[in-house]
Amino acid sequence: MTDPTILLDIDGAGARITLNRPDKLNAFTGEMHGELRAALAKVAAPDSGARALLITGAGRGFCAGQDLGQRREMNIPDLGETLEKYYNPLIRTLRGLEMPIIAAVNGVAAGAGMGVAMACDIVLAARSATFIQAFAKIGLVPDSGSSWFLPRLVGDARARGLAMLAEKISAEQAAAWGLIWKVVDDAQLIDEATGLARHLATQPTRGLALIKRALNASTGNSLDAQLDLERDLQRTAGRTEDYREGVRAFFDKRPAKFAGR
Ligand code: LHQ
C-alpha cells in the first residue's frame, strides 16, 4: 500500500493537514490534489469541530509546486485545464474556508507551493525555509493566485523581480518584505504554529471568518464598497453568540469563552 499523500489530524478544535510526499518536497500530483480536497472538505464540514487549520509539509520541504516528473515525457496536457481542475479550486477553498488557516512553512515553498502558502491567513516560516516563484525558470507564469497575492503583499517592483528572476529568497527576506507574518527558529516552528492554531481555535470563529471575508474583498473594492461590506459583516458579527460573550466577559473582567457561534 502506498502512503497517503495528505495526512489529516483533527484534534478537538484544531485541524492539521500535512503535505506528505517528502521525497519530492511535497510536489503536487493529481492524487495529492484529490486527497487534499477531501481533507479540506472534512475540515470544513459543520460537524468536524475544527475552528482553525494548520498546513505544513513533511520532511525538508513545504511544497515544490506541481510535480514536474508527471509532465516530463508526454503529451503535454492543457495547463489551463490543470489550473481549472486542481489549483484554482484549491486556492478558492483556502481563501473561503470559514476559519483561520496557518501555514507552517518548514522548508522550500516553490511555484504553486508558494501560492498555497500565500493563500493561507497567517504564514510562519522556519528560519531555514525559502520561497521561490519558480515558474519563469520553466517558461510558465505565476499561478495559484501568485500574480494576485505578490503585488499586494510585496508591491509591484518586488513582485516583478520575484516573478521574472525566479530567485530564491530566505524566510528573513520574506518577512522583511511583508510576504509572511513571522520567522521562527526551525526547532520551534511546529510548536509555535500549533500553539497559534490552538489559540485561534478558542477565538470567535464566526468573527474571524467574517474578518477573512472583509480582507479578501478589500483589495478589489472601493472604500465606499468596503464601508458597505463592513456594515453588513458587522451586522452579522453583532448577532453572534461570541459577540455577546465577548462584551459580557469584558464587563465581568474575565477571559471570554468563545463557542465559535
Ligand atoms: C521535484 C520537484 C517538482 C517533481 C523537487 N516535481 N520533483 C501548475 C499547473 C500546471 C503545470 C505546471 O505547474 C503548475 C504550477 C507550478 O507549481 S510550476 C512550478 C513547479 N515547480 C518547480 O519548478 C520547482 C522545481 N524544483 C526546484 O526548483 C527545486 O527542487 C527546489 C528549489 C524546490 C528545491 O531545490 P533543492 O533543495 O536543491 O532540492 P532538489 O532539487 O534536490 O529536490 C529534491 C527532490 O525533489 C529531487 O528528487 P531526487 O529524486 O532527485 O532526489 C527533485 O527532483 C524532487 N523535486 N521539486 N516540482
Nearest CA to ligand 1 atom 26: 64
pLDDT at site 74? 60
Question: Of 51, 52, 56, whose CA–CA distance to 36 is shortest?
Answer: 56
Banded model confidence at residue 36, pLDDT cuts 50, 70, 90: very high
Instruction: Find the mean pLDDT for residues 208-232.
Output: 97
The verdict on 197 and 216 lying in the same domain is: no
pLDDT at site 70? 73
The verdict on 182 and 156 lying in the same domain is: yes
14-28 pLDDT tens trace: 999 999 999 999 999
Q: How many helices (H) and strands (E) does the chain have?
A: 11, 10
pLDDT at site 103? 98
Tally Cβ neighbours within 10 Å of residue 118.
23
The verdict on 88 and 164 lying in the same domain is: yes
CATH of residue 185's domain is: 3.90.226.10
The verdict on 103 and 210 lying in the same domain is: no
Banded model confidence at residue 224, pLDDT cuts 50, 70, 90: very high
Instruction: Find the mean pLDDT for residues 223-230.
Output: 98
DSSP-based three-state secondary structure for 182: strand
Q: Which domain covers residue 39, as residue numbers?
A: 6-201
Please give the number of the atom of ligand 1 that sits closest to the Cα of 25.
Answer: 46
Which residues on adjacent β-strands are paired with residue 183?
125
Going by C-beta distance under 8 Å and a sequence separation of 6 or more, which residues neighbour residue 192? 124, 184
The verdict on 210 and 238 lying in the same domain is: yes
The verdict on 143 and 236 lying in the same domain is: no
139-179 pLDDT tens trace: 999 999 999 999 999 999 999 999 999 999 999 999 999 99
The verdict on 244 and 194 lying in the same domain is: no
User: Cell 489550473 maps to which residue?
Assistant: 83
CATH of residue 224's domain is: 1.10.12
The verdict on 191 and 216 lying in the same domain is: no
pLDDT at site 76? 74
Average pLDDT along the chain = 96
84-111 pLDDT tens trace: 999 999 999 999 999 999 999 999 999 9
Residues having CB within 6 Å of any atom of ligand 1: 24-25, 27, 64-69, 79, 82-83, 87, 108, 110-112, 132, 134-135, 138, 140, 143
On the question of pLDDT at 124 being above 70, the answer is yes
The verdict on 20 and 130 lying in the same domain is: yes
- H or E segment at 1? none
Total domains, the chain: 2
On the question of pLDDT at 72 being above 70, the answer is no
Phi, psi of 136 (to 5 degrees): -60, -25
Query: Are 64 and 26 within 8 A, CB to CB?
Result: yes
On the question of pLDDT at 208 being above 80, the answer is yes
- What is the sign, positive or negative, of the torsion defined by CA atoms of 92, 98, 100, 103? negative
**How much distance in Å is there from the Cα of 95 to the middle of ligand 1?**
25
Residue 107 domain-assigned? yes
Please give the number of the atom of ligand 1 that sits closest to the Cα of 79.
Answer: 10
pLDDT at site 168? 98
Is beta strand 130-132 parallel, antiparallel or unpaired with respect to 182-184? unpaired
